[in-house]
Amino acid sequence: MIQKIVANINEAVSNIFDGATILVSGFGGAGLPFQLLDALLEQGAKDLTIVSNNAGNAGVGIAKLISGGRVRKMICSFPRQPESGAFDDLFRAGKIELELVPQGTLAERIRAGGAGIGAFFTPTAYGTELAVGKEIKEINGVQQILEMSIQADFALIKADQGDRWGNLTYHGTGRNFGPVMATAATCTIAQVNRLVELGELNPETIITPGIFVKRVVCIDGGKKK
């Protein structure tokens, strides 16, 4: 029988290893899997490469992992936040690497990784310092840059509802990177606000089919409003 639901948050992150590359959903705080990140901090894995839109804010989420010295490298589009001190300080001290990626390119590199596409050309960043060192080709009259796909060891996703097959729905703009990242990791771990019986989710409304998901865990506290 297929049973992707795990009993507790610590079990959900138990096999994340040192040096892992981890996709983390979220745009600002919306869709950020805070509980999975806290469990990861407690679990102790270090030397991590984190792929996420932002690099943490206000001492929570990814910022806690960074302050805890667990993150070797950030791959993100917008590390600067009103309270991004955790990242900022380490970056200025040369203690954390940054690969800055335009947001659309980041989304597409992850999408490609999940879809088995090795690399693709995009016009974004042509003529800018983020294109330096990359192959450039003119395609249909447009200068485009070769970008490589991203495939990760783990994806930590915040979803809204999930079932034992790993089917997921999302809430509001908390969706953002979640469905894309869910496809692009060897082990996708989703935290949900509510677990439902198999068949309760309307097939029309499932955003992430369970095929992409390895583990689902329900968090205490439910939906923040």
Partner 1 sequence: MDLSQLKKRTTAEIAQRIVEDIPDGATVNLGIGQPMTISNYLPPDREIILHSENGLLGMGPLAVGEQIDHEVVNAGKQPVTMLPGASLFHHADSFAMIRGGHIDICVLGGFQVSVAGDLANWRTGDPKAIPAVGGAMDLALGAKKLFVMMEHLTKSGVSKIVNTCTYPITGLAVVDCIYTDLATILVTPSGLVALDWVDGLSFEQLRELSGVEIQNGKKS
Residue type, 98: L
Instruction: Determine if 129 is a binding residue for partner 1 (CB under 8 A).
Output: yes
Which residue shows structure tokens 């990760």? 152
- Give the Cα separation of 91 and 69 in Å (integer): 12
Binding characters for partner 1, 166-185, by CB under 8 A (x = yes) = ----xxxxxxxxxxx-----
Total residues at the site for partner 1 (CB under 8 A)? 50
Nearer to partner 1, 8 or 143 (CB): 143
> Nearest 10 degrees: CA dihedral of 88, 19, 105, 206?
-110
> Nearest 10 degrees: CA dihedral of 80, 31, 51, 15?
140
Which listed residue (35, 52, 84, 151) binds partner 1 by CB under 8 A? 84
- Give the Cα separation of 169 and 209 in Å (integer): 9
Which listed residue (5, 30, 58, 187) binds partner 1 by CB under 8 A? 30
Beta strands in 29-85 (DSSP E): 48-51, 71-76
Nearer to partner 1, 130 or 196 (CB): 130
Taking the complex as a whole, the smallest distance from the CB of residue 91 to partner 1 amounts, in Å, to: 6
Q: How many helices (H) and strands (E) does the chain have?
A: 6, 13
Instruction: Determine if 107 is a binding residue for partner 1 (CB under 8 A).
Output: yes
Residues that bind partner 1 (CB under 8 A): 27-31, 53, 77-80, 84, 87-88, 91-92, 98, 100-105, 107-108, 110-111, 122-130, 170-180, 207, 223-225
